[in-house]
Structure 1
Amino acid sequence: MADLFQIGLSGIYSSQAKLSTTSHNIANISTEGYSRQSVVSETAGAERYGDYFIGTGSIVAGVERAYDQFAFTENNLNTSNLGYATETYEQNNQMDMLLSDESTSITQPVLEVFESISGVADNPNMLESRTVFLESAGNMVSQYNRLYENLEIQYSNINNDIVNSAQTINQLADNISSLNQQISSLLGSGNASNTNDLFDQRDKAINELSEFVDVSAVTTDNGMMNVYIGSGQALVMGSDVLTLTTVNGDPDPARKELALTNGDHISLINGERLGGKLSALFETRNNDLERAFNQIGQNVIGLTHSINEQQKEGLTLEGEIGTDLFNDVNSQDSMESRVLAHNDGLGEALLTVRIDDLSSLTADEFDLVVDDYQVATASSPETITFTSTNRTTGETSTSTVDMSVSQRLEIPNSGISVGIDSITSLSAGKEFTLRPTRLAAQEVTLQHKDVAKVVTADSEIKTVASSDNTGTAVLRTNSILGNTLDLGEDNLFVTINITAIDATTGEVSYDVLDTNGTAISSLSGTTTPDLLTGKATFAFAGVEVEMISGSLATNDTFTLNYNETGDGDNRNIMKMADLQTQKIMNNNKATFADVYNGMLSEVGAKTANADISMQSATILQSQSYDRIQALSGVNMDEEVANLLQFQQHYSVATRVISVASELFDTILQVAR
């Protein structure tokens, strides 16, 4: 007959295990990531008595946790999407508030500049109105500088977040690896039930990891879990861990990038493809924030360069040709700062980027790659073949520069050209990054506050190209020296006539014609355009005329008109005031205000879309979390009911032992 004592004891053991597990559940009801556990009981088998079998009680087969692999994977995916959406919204919202807030936006300072210009136009001889204009211009410059600084702070903070996120990911990876080893060790020793809490801890670490990156987890036969991030990069392989590190970007060291290190081997990875919070940080920095730098730069270059150029079209109170009011956007330092050379070991060259055409200027950046470089020989000139790629549109262009003819490369549809200042050595594959407008808001300065240098009057001598010219050259009176040619009332203009252009040297021969079209022999001369800048200077009779853009053709003519100015002349300052409403930018389709407002609309739309995405991601993540909790979470009412039930089971099991004891005593009494 079956042993009642053993059967009772098995019931006690089983009930005791269930009571302990239920108590464990209750104790961890507030523990994040804890999965409800339950005891699995099995029959202990049976003993044969003749033609029948009698059971021998129960045994505890193990302790299981409530777990669903699909729900776990889905929640990790939704957590990653929420991390991405939240970070995207927060970063774009910060940028949107910075650009649109009255205290930081440049809209009002620019408006005040043009209002003060109108004040000068109304009272060109009043020094007070000029002072107001210069003060407004200084305030505008300061606002551009502050706006750049604030964007740079956000840029720096994103870089710091990338570094901190990488450190957190490494800590989580180390934790997962440690848990893998503990789980494998326990499973190897046959203590599978003791791994439940470790499984929960590992799942929690993986879920925390999914906030930063997309995660794919694969369980191996020994209970370990391999973890892959992003598009499949291994992070944890059993007990082995790869380290996520940050490195300085190439060619921009201020642009932090990520790499996976395994011993001495380092592999760069694309942060934008990692998913989660990290992907949002990279995308915001690389696409939205850097574009904001470029768009603000495009705006300030267009505004200040236009005013500078108009300054040079008139006369100061001192009777001199006007000079730059703001910094020269094509100073050597500015042009050099627009080019970044990649650290690829394929040679060195000093390249510069010049702003040539405001209407074609965009906020785009360009990749420039050397396809071929040939040094000069006795029979052939030095040549370089470049391929440029617009990073925004993907448009590519390949051009070959003959260094004996020109040291300048035109980038199509960009409003810029690249100067090849010097070459140390070059090999095919050498890369450069062109950022024409990136630093403009940081570099902008007010050159002076001398009210006498504010140009209101039209220039004394205006240079006008003939409509019949076949060349594209634009000439401008650069300076008027002492003892200038007296055009007088009977000789109101002279004409520069291009007579010949040497095809080999590029030397330009010209005559100076009087009002009647007769060459003034003493004023004929030659000039040679600079190979690097493409500019040439015509100097005669105390007048210096500069070719500021384009190219000359034989028989092109340019007339120098005499302009008798006097007090109260405001023609030049009126033209400067008109710049506010002229569609100078974006292929002559936008004003300065349109460019800035377009940027505001673009950032605002991205912020609104990011907000919608964040709300949707929040709902999906909440739903997937609720599904896990419905399956794995601890329900207090259910656990209390189980506690009472298992308590009764325990009591009944002890009663079985009591019955067995009583029966045994009865047998002993009969035997006496």
Structure 2
Amino acid sequence: MTTNIYSIGLSGLQAAQIGIATSGENISNSSTPGYDVESPVFAEASGQQTGSGYLGNGVTTATVQRAYSQYLTTALNNAQSSNSSLTASYNLASQLSNLVGSPTSGIATSITSFFTGLQSVANAPSNTSTMQTALSNAQTLAAQINAAGQQYDSMRQGVNTQLSNSVTQINSYSQQIAQLNAQITTATTNGQQPNQLLDARDQAVANLSQLVGVQVVQSNNGYSVFLGNGQPLVVSNQSYNLATQPSSTNSAELTVTWTGLAGSNSTPQPLSSAALQGGTVGGLVSFVQNTLDPAEAQLGAIATSFAAQVNNQNELGYTLNGQPGGALFSVSPALVTGNTANTGNAAVGVTLTNPTQPSTDTYALSYSTASGTGTWTLTDTTTNTVMGSTTTAPSSTTPFTAGGLSITVSSGTMNNGDSYTIQPTGNALDSFAVAATSATAIAAAAPVLVAAGTANTGSATVTPGTVTSGYTVPSTPVKLTYTAPASGTVGTLSGFPVGTTVSITTPGSSTPTSVAITSATQTVNYDSSTGATFTITGPAADGVNNVSFTMSGAPANNDTFTISANTSGSQDGRNALALANLTSSTQFNGSATLTSAYANYVNSVGNTATQLQASSTSQQSLVTQLTSQQQSVQGVNLDEEAANLMQYEQLYQANSKVIQTAATLFQTLIGIFQ
């Protein structure tokens, strides 16, 4: 019996020691990331049957278990994954917003300065110093647009670096989880759970979740970890790797690929954005697709439209040298990237059908022979809309025109399944440049001059005249003669070149009246009470085409008006004024001027950053809430551990007293026989 009392006391001492050791472990790891609080599980030791009844043999420690909630852990991992994604996107969007700056500074200021310089040229068209100032303003604008392109390139390289580093970390955690699966399987063969290994595995999964969104499936073989599209990262004790490679649609960007088992030579499989939701990687991919690329395309469209509008107007004027104006700015054509999986060697070229209104979407040109006939199809991948298709091979004489793009294949062939990505303004920022080498390239003068005869006796006046694209002016002046009516206000003008068509638009009317000039005696009505704008379109033998002028007032009978080439260009700043007036043009999108379009672009980037900040703050609050809930179950409570220590100390003291009592009894028995 004394021996049984000894055993009972010793079992109690051992239980108390395990309790004290467990509390000490909890206290020392209270700040250790991923540590789950542990507690001993005590059970009554197997007893024995005696004549006096069934007597117990003390206490035994069944196990030391950790507090763990799979539900809370999974919820927290998912919340942290979303938060990491939003944080990565917000940090980059905020950086981009800071680079873009204020909507009234930088590029916007340079655009305004350029147009202000052109106004000065219009006021003094023969002054080459004002032209030089305008050209210097143009060069400043080009430098700032190029700098913006370099900033975008730099940010894209930064994203690529972060993406590569994150993929390396993902592979490391995947390998770690697979190794822990194997170690845990081995360690549990004795029937006890290896708490330290379990904590390490859960912490590795938590770290992995912050890099990329994953799904975790628990089985007898441990954790299996999968990406959003079902591609495995870990299955039992095997890990699968990710890698990065240049995008098949944009070589400046990296694509994340799945490369199979670690150490294998599997062909990399590019992963879509749907497979990379959540985590830092998801945030980086989302930022590039939803913020960086669209913002660059928007600014590129503004630069492209600006160059096209200025060039078009400058080409409608004459320089100081009496020559037609040319392009003041140059921008590279659309960026075309062949898919890396293409087997053909076609050289695809793309131009914009209307560069004043370029698209900011991305397009895909694909070729298929599935129907038995070679078919080229253009798809807007931004909206997932088919823009058009053709079975006629695109060439310089028969281009494939769709979606505002004119597509040609200058050489080589396309094979079935080949595709090309088209970014209409993908090269705009880096390639934007001043094409003019001399300030005198600014065509300040208008090429046509409409004037009233010096001998006229009526009150009619005419504007000097304007031209539109494709214009021609007569080498010999065209004389128009007015015939007054016998009564009323509607007279006639004659002398318009045979073969032309004259369109007459009266103030307040949007529908012109057209008159075909079929003979030298053909007349055109003019109402002196309203005035009218006349537009002459050809072709005509004497070369009058796309010339307009406005007449107002009442001409006298036989008053004359001439249309001739402008020979006093050095004193004429009408085209420079038209260039300066582009500051209020809404050709870009029909509603916004170039400066307001730039302001909208800056505000759009800023709004995106603000929205991401709000979402990130909200998600961080959820993470804090779930962390608190998880720690209430799995975390170490130091007050509770202090109470446990006191309890185990008392348990140890009490069991020591049991052993002391057993020793006294034993000594008493010895004394009886002495």
TM-score if structure 2 supplies the norm length? 0.82
Classify 1:374/1:639 alpha carbon distance in 2 versus 1 (closer, same or farther; 3 Å).
Answer: closer
RMSD: 3.1
CA shift in 2, pair 1:28/1:39, >3 Å: same
**What is the aligned partner in structure 2 of residue 256 from structure 1?**
254
SS in 2 for 1:624: helix
Change beyond 3 A, Cα 1:399–1:288: same
What is the Cα deviation at residue 496 of structure 1? 7.3
Any residues of structure 2 matched to 1:96-111 within 5 Å, and which?
Answer: 96-101=97-102, 105-111=106-112
What is the CA-CA distance between 1:19 and the residue it aligns to? 1.0
d(CA) in 1 for partners of 2:77, 2:498: 77
* 1:145-198 Cα deviation digits (max 9, x unpaired): 0011111111110111110100011111121122222211111244x24x1111
Q: Which residue of 2 aligns with 1:392?
A: 382
Cα distance in structure 1, aligned partners of 2:269 and 2:385:
29
Report matched runs for 1:304-383 at 5 Å: 304-327=307-330, 329=331, 334-335=332-333, 338-358=335-355, 360-372=357-369
Residues 53/354 of structure 1: CA separation in 2 closer, same or farther (3 Å cut): same
Q: Secondary structure of the equivalent of 1:41?
A: strand
Residue number in structure 2 paired with 1:645: 647
Distance verdict in 2 for CA 1:316–1:9, change over 3 Å: same
Give a deviation string over 1:393-416, Cα, whole Å, max 9, x none: 22213332645994211113x3x2
Any conservation in 1 of the 2:396–2:408 contact (CA below 8 Å)?
no
Determine whether 1:125 maps to 2:91.
no
- Letter of the 2:353 partner, please give it: D
How much does 1:102 deviate? 7.0
2:37 paired with 1:14: no
**1:456 and 1:571 in contact (8 A); partners too:** yes
Conservation of the 8 A alpha-carbon contact between 1:459 and 1:563: yes
1:146-225 counterparts in 2 under 5 A? Answer: 146-190=147-191, 192-193=192-193, 195-222=194-221, 224-225=222-223
Unaligned runs of 5+ in 2: 451-467, 481-494, 502-516, 523-538, 547-561
Match of 1:227 in 2: 225
SS state of the match for residue 259, structure 1?
Answer: strand
Q: C-alpha distance in 1, partners of 2:402/2:41?
A: 74
Counterpart position of 2:115: 114
The residue identity in structure 2 corresponding to 1:387 is T
Q: Give the Cα separation in 2 of the matches to 1:138 and 1:229.
A: 49
- Code of the aligned partner of 2:407: V
Match of 2:431 in 1: 443
The 3 A distance-change label for structure 1 pair 7 and 405 is closer
Give the total of aligned pairs: 591
Shift of 1:374: 12
Distance 1:408 1:517 in 2: 43
Local SS of the residue matching 2:413 = strand
Q: Write out aligned runs for 1:476-515 (5 A).
A: 476-477=471-472, 486-488=475-477
> Which stretch of the first structure deviates more once superposed, 200-209 or 284-293?
284-293
Contact 1:98 1:104 in 2 (8 A): no
User: How far apart, CA to CA, are the structure 1 residues paired with 2:605 and 2:56?
Assistant: 75
Q: Relative to structure 1, is the Cα distance of residues 104 and 235 closer, same or farther in structure 2, using a 3 angstrom cutoff?
A: farther
Aligned AA (1:577): A
Q: Does structure 1 retain, via aligned residues, the 8 Å contact 2:304–2:356?
A: no
Residue type of the partner of 2:410? D
Kindly state the Cα deviation for residue 461 of structure 1 after the two structures are TM-superposed.
8.8
Match of 1:469 in 2: none
Deviation at 1:516, TM superposition (A): 4.3
**SS of the residue aligned with 1:421?**
strand
Amino acid at match of 2:92: Q
1:475 aligns with: 470
> How far does residue 457 in structure 1 lie from its aligned partner after superposition?
0.4
- The one-character-per-residue Cα deviations of 1:606-663 (angstroms, maximum 9, x if unpaired) are 2221111101110110111111211121122221221122111111111111111111
> Hey, what does 1:297 align to over in structure 2?
300
- CA distance in 2 between counterparts of 1:405 and 1:321 reads 26
Say if 1:562 and 1:80 are closer, same or farther in 2 by CA, change over 3 A.
same
| TM-score normalised by L of structure 1 | 0.82
SS of aligned partner of 2:320? coil
Distance 2:97 2:252 in 1: 23
Any unmatched runs of 5+ in structure 1? Answer: 376-382, 463-472, 499-512, 519-537, 547-558
Change in 2 beyond 3 A, CA 1:255/1:320: same
Contact 1:326 1:445 in 2 (8 A): yes
Report deviation, 1:493: 8.0
Q: Distance in 1 between matches of 2:420 and 2:33?
A: 50
Please state whether the residue corresponding to 1:392 is helix, strand or coil.
Answer: coil
Residue 604 of structure 1, CA deviation: 2.3
What is the deviation of 1:489? 6.4
Deviation at 1:272, TM superposition (A): 4.7
Amino acid at match of 1:250: S
Identify if the C-alpha distance between structure 1 residues 183 and 402 changes in structure 2 by more than 3 Å, giving closer, same or farther.
closer
The structural deviation recorded for 1:23 is 1.1
Residue 236 to residue 624, structure 1, CA distance change in 2 (3 Å): same
Distance (Å, rounded) in 1 between the aligned partners of 2:498 and 2:53: 129
Residue identity opposite 1:607 in structure 2 = A
Distance 2:606 2:651 in 1: 65
Offset of 1:540 from its aligned partner? 9.8
CA deviation after TM superposition for structure 1 residue 368, in Å? 1.3
For 1:253, what is the secondary structure of its paired residue? Answer: coil
**In 1: Cα distance, 2:190 partner to 2:540 partner:** 96
Identity of aligned residues (%): 27
* 1:81-104 CA-partner distances (Å, limit 9, x unpaired): 110111121111112222234797
| Residues 387 and 396 in structure 1, CA contact (< 8 A), matched pair in contact too | yes
For residues 591-670 of structure 1, the aligned pairs below 5 Å read: 591-670=593-672
SS at match of 1:250: coil
Query: Per-residue displacement from partner, 1:356-397 (whole Å, max 9, x unpaired)?
Result: 21454221111111245999xxxxxxx963221112222213
Aligned equivalents of 1:38, 1:576: Cα separation in 2: 81
